[in-house]
Copies of this chain bind each other. A is one copy, B any other.
Amino acid sequence: MSSTMQRITLARRPSGQPVPEDFALQSAPIPSPGEGEVLIAVSHLSLDPYMRGRMDDVKSYAPSVGIGETMTGQGVGRVIASKADGFAEGDLVTGITGWASHAVLPGSELRKLPDGLQPSLALGVLGMPGFTAWVGLRKYADLKAGETLAVAAATGPVGSMVGQIAKAAGLRTIAIAGGDEKTKLATNHFGFDAAIDHRAHADARALRAALVEQAPDGVDVYWENVGGKVLEAVLPLMNVHGRIPLCGTISWYSGLDGDGTDRLPMLWRSVLVKRLRISGLIVFDHWDLFDEFLADIGPKVMAGKIAYLEDVAQGLEAAPEAFIGMLQGKNRGKQVVAI
């Protein structure tokens, strides 16, 4: 085993969309685990939109990454040295390893995975994104058969699970995705009832017209991943007593469109007139339900009843470009990095 590890640090804070120069690849000696700790050789790293928020120096639900610090993120890998009870060399584990080839973490912050599991699944369909969809729908969506659900970023790991769970609950499911390839994926691979290419519609009004065709009875549940144009298109189509689980606002992560219109009054009025319920969702609040999620969804994944899709970048050094591409919607499915 090599005695040096690699990690990717935040070189500087991005202005708007991140660029490769905002990151730095560094080498360092592999650390040794202290008492109660475990050394992991990371095999797969998860890239997720929330990481963009951590690159800014603003108060949020989690601390931002400091300049020169390793980028944060969930990884999965094998234990190569353990001083923690319950963990042995060779165990497959997952935890917040950061963007790094190796990590030392307390055993208390690691989760052991079944040995036969394809490791990267623990980062996607059976990891945080899949769980986010499952717990958010359960707590905030109040799904009813015969209703209509719309979700953007619909071929991503959260959106695709949202669609499949809602479809199984008897809802009509409308995917919103960017480009022809993704809309085909949405219906053919993930089983959405309909898919709309937001890139084919120049503004919110045009996108709304396309939505009306696919959701003639209006929208009862809008799963919010993106904000921006899609939100503006969907909002007037919301039915009375509609629900909006708010999971992400990726279209606004790197600055605003800013055409001089304040859309807050329009939203506020819609919420009132339609008696909408909007619920902010952060998956970290809900870990107590994670085992129940695994027990529900795990067997369905193993039985091939849940579709998923991974986009695997090769090598830790490929992580920044893969991350930048993901924020621009270039990935196909859950973005991971094989290290």
| Residue ranges of A at the interface with B (Cβ–Cβ < 8 Å) | 60-61, 224, 227, 231, 240, 246-249, 252, 256-269, 271-282, 285
Contact = CB atoms under 8 A, between A and B. Distances in A.
A249 B263 contact: no
Nearest to A140: B277
Contacts of A224: 268
Contacts of A268: 224, 227, 231, 246, 249, 252
A256 B247 contact: no
Contacts of A279: 271, 275-278
Contacts of A282: 272-273, 275
Nearest to A251: B265
Contacts of A267: 264, 267
B265 A252 contact: yes
12 contacts: A227-B264, A231-B268, A249-B265, A258-B262, A261-B262, A263-B264, A264-B266, A272-B282, A273-B282, A275-B281, A277-B277, A277-B280
A272 B257 contact: no
Contacts of A272: 246-249, 280-282
A333 B222 CA distance: 39
Given A246-B268, A249-B265, 13 more contacts: A61-B240, A61-B273, A227-B264, A227-B268, A246-B272, A249-B269, A249-B272, A258-B262, A262-B262, A264-B264, A264-B267, A272-B281, A275-B282
Contacts of A60: 273
Contacts of A227: 264-265, 268
A278 B278 contact: yes
Please list the 10 inter-chain residue pairs (A to B) with the smallest Cβ-Cβ separation, ordered nearest first: A263-B264, A275-B280, A278-B278, A271-B280, A252-B265, A260-B260, A272-B280, A264-B264, A249-B268, A276-B280
Contact of A263 (B257, B260, B262, B285): B262
A271 B266 CA distance: 16
A271 B278 contact: yes
B271 A246 contact: yes
Contacts of A61: 240, 273-275
A268 to B, nearest CB: 5
A278 B128 CA distance: 25
B273 A280 contact: yes
Contacts of A273: 60-61, 280, 282
B274 A280 contact: yes
